[in-house]
Amino acid sequence: MKLHRQRIVIVAIVLGAFAVWGIVAFRGSSAPTLAHIQKLLSGPDRAAGFRALRKYLDDHPDDAQANYLAGTVLVKASPDLARTHLDKVPPESEHRAGAVRLLAAMALEQQDHASARSHLHELQRLAPDDPAVSLALVECHLLAGEHGQALEHAQRAAELNPARAQTYFLIAEILDELGRVPESVAPLKKAVELDPESFPARANLAYALHFAGDHEAALGGLEWCLQRQPNNADLLLIQAKIVRDAGDIPRAKRIVQTALRSRPQDVGCTLLLAEILLFEDNPREALALLEPVFRRQSDNHHLTTLLSRAAWLAGDAEKARHYQGLLVDQLPRRNE
């Protein structure tokens, strides 16, 4: 959507859980010594726990449980050292999934997207039914501009956790990036169904319905949103366009003027008001409205077109020819 975007950044597979994992990872461990070390690390004398763990690792450098425990307790204080220990947890270990989860989270936090993706794909094999892993892969693919792959993982996350409204919002956002806005109506409806009070979901649904040509449904959604944010210029612009296209020019004009009072510099609202002024045969008023905008956005083709038209209708042939010449310059150049 072009409104109220809510990028769902997913570093969340573990970033909020480092401390928790350090406490619960070895509850019920079959290794009494490690269980005792973990108890020390969870208690007030953490320094004694670290000393005991260091000694244990000196004697058992390849112990999977000990390396996993070291990774969990060092991940914030010393990420590089934590990574060294976590890498020593072998694929056959029951703790491998937890280790990879931490490795992926650290890579995401450090914006090492290549490593994050590698760890996440391994984690997907180890924990194929974890929707958080799919969501993290969505973020990795989005950061790489791979929207098709991101969409597949987002849809998988929705299958794994169909009660999460934000995932459907994310699917809609990706569809918008892919230029498939009408397809976003269905996931946005699902997001609204799951979270009826979500303003972003309802606002984007209204936008998508308008884009898809379902103007009656779009107006209903806009009414709900504008009751809560009556001066929202983005929503007022959509409403004004629908009303204008339905033939109610005076009401469309009132709506877009309200939007401009809220956001005087809004180009989209200014262009729509100029179109209405030209329809009302007020070219000089349209020209006066548009020329200050042109000083800020001289490369806007639609703006230049309106200026040329307004100048001709106002009888200013010289100015009209000037803008027509600029229109030619703004056309994309064909490769020779």
Q: Where are the domains of the chain?
A: 12-127
Q: 319 pLDDT exceeds 70?
A: yes
CB of 226 closer than 8 Å to CB of 235: yes
**CA 157 to each of CA 1, 129, 206, 235: distance values in angstroms, whole numbers, following the listed order:** 20, 9, 24, 30
CATH, domain 12-127, list 1.10.287, 1.10.3470, 2.60.40, 1.25.40: 1.25.40
CB of 105 closer than 8 Å to CB of 118: no
34/88: higher pLDDT: 88
**CA 34 to each of CA 2, 17, 38, 86, 323: distance values in angstroms, whole numbers, following the listed order:** 53, 21, 6, 16, 79
Token look-up 């990574």 returns 83
pLDDT tens profile 83-142: 999 999 999 999 998 899 899 888 888 888 889 889 999 988 888 898 988 988 898 888
Average pLDDT over residues 308-331: 91
State whether the Cα torsion 263-169-137-182 is positive or negative. Answer: negative
Q: 60 pLDDT exceeds 60?
A: yes
